[in-house]
Amino acid sequence: MKKIGLVFLVLTIGLSLSYGLKTYDLKTITQAHLPPQGAWAELSQGNLYYRWYVPPAELRNGETLVLVHGFSTPHFVWDGVKHFLIESGYDVLVYDHFGRGLSERPSVNYDQTLYVESLRELLAHQQVSQPVHLVGYSMGGAVAGYFAQAYPKAVKTLSLIAPAGFMTDDSVLGSLASLPIVGEWLGHMFANKIVVNDIYEAEMADIDDPLAIGKSDYVTRVSKQLRYRGFVESLVSTLRHFNLFNAHSAFLAVSESAIPTLAIWGTNDATVPYVGSASMLKVMPQAELVTVLEGGHNITYMQPSIVGPAITSFLQKQLQL
C-alpha cells in the first residue's frame, strides 16, 4: 500500500509540474490585444468581440447576416466566405464565442444557455431588432439551431455548414473531458494537436481554391489562442456541458417553425460525417442540401468559393419568395 501511495504521489507531483509549466506564462486577454477593427460588447458574462462588415450604400439590401463559428476556430474562418455575402448586399456581423479568439474567457459553464444567450445579448447590444440570417459552421450550426429554437421570430433563414448535432457520440472523449482536473490537464498537454487537427493533409490534397486559408497561416492563427489563459478550459467545459452530438430536438423545432434552412456538407467530412445529412433531412425534410464532393470538415475556409456562392444563392431565392 505504501508503494502504491508513493507512486500516486510521484505521479500527482509530475502531472502538477507539467501542468504548471504549460500554464505559467499564459496571458489574460485584455482590450489592449484587440485590433483597430471591431470592439468588445459588454455582456452579462463578460466582453465579447464582434466586428461588422458593411457593403457600400448602393449595394445594401437592408438584411443582416450573422456568422457563428465552431468549436475552436474563431471568426477568421469566415475570411474567404464573407466577401460573397458583403458583395450580395448583406450587413455581416461576425463574433468570437466566449473563450475563443478575441473574446474574454469567463469561468462559467460553456453550455447551451451561454452560447444562445451571448448571441441574443450581442444582437440586443448592437440594436439589431429585425430577424437575421444565421450562418453556423460546425458547432456554430448547433448554436444557431438552439438559438432558432429559443427565438424563432428572430431568425429569417438558417444556413448550416458541416453542422454539429448529427454526430455519433464519442464516449471516450466525453468521459475524459468530464473528469475534474484530468480534462484540463489533457487539454493543456495536447491542445496544439487538438486545435490544429481540424485541417488534414488528405482534405487539402486536391483543393485549389484561391480564397482558401493556407495551412501554415491557419496553424499560426489558431495557435495564437493557446497564449491566453482560459482557452483550453472553455473547450473542455464545452465538451462537458454542450451537446455536440445530438441537437435533433432543436432542429425539429426549426422545421416546425418553417424557418428556411440550407445545409452544406462535404462527403469526406471526418468530424461530422456526411451520413449525418440523412439524419438531418429526416428531422428537417424542408431543408436544402448542398453536397461538396470530397469536401472535408474544413470546407468553410478551404473551399469558400463553393460555400460562399451556395449561401448567397440560397438567400437570394428566399428574398425573392
Instruction: Note the pLDDT of residue 16.
Output: 46
Distance from C-alpha of 280 to C-alpha of 248, rounded to nearest angstrom:
8
Read off the pLDDT of residues 200-232 as tens digits, 9 standing for 90 and up: 555 555 578 999 988 888 888 988 888 899 998
Q: How far apart are the first and last CA of the chain?
A: 74
Confidence of residue 15 (pLDDT cuts 50, 70, 90): very low
- CA 27-241-199 angle, 5° bins: 65
Whole-number Å distance between alpha carbons of 275 and 284: 15
Average pLDDT score over residue span 81-88: 97
* All three cell numbers of 138: 460546425
pLDDT, tens digit, 9 for 90 and up, residues 277-302: 999 999 999 999 999 999 999 999 99
Lowest mean pLDDT among 16-30, 80-94, 160-174, 188-202: 188-202
Q: How does the average pLDDT of the chain come out, rounded?
A: 87
Task: Give all domains of the chain, ordered by start, each with its CATH number.
Answer: 2-320 (3.40.50.1820)
Closest CA to 232 of 177, 282, 270, 300: 177
DSSP letter (8 states) at residue 214: P
Q: Does 174 have pLDDT greater than 60?
A: no
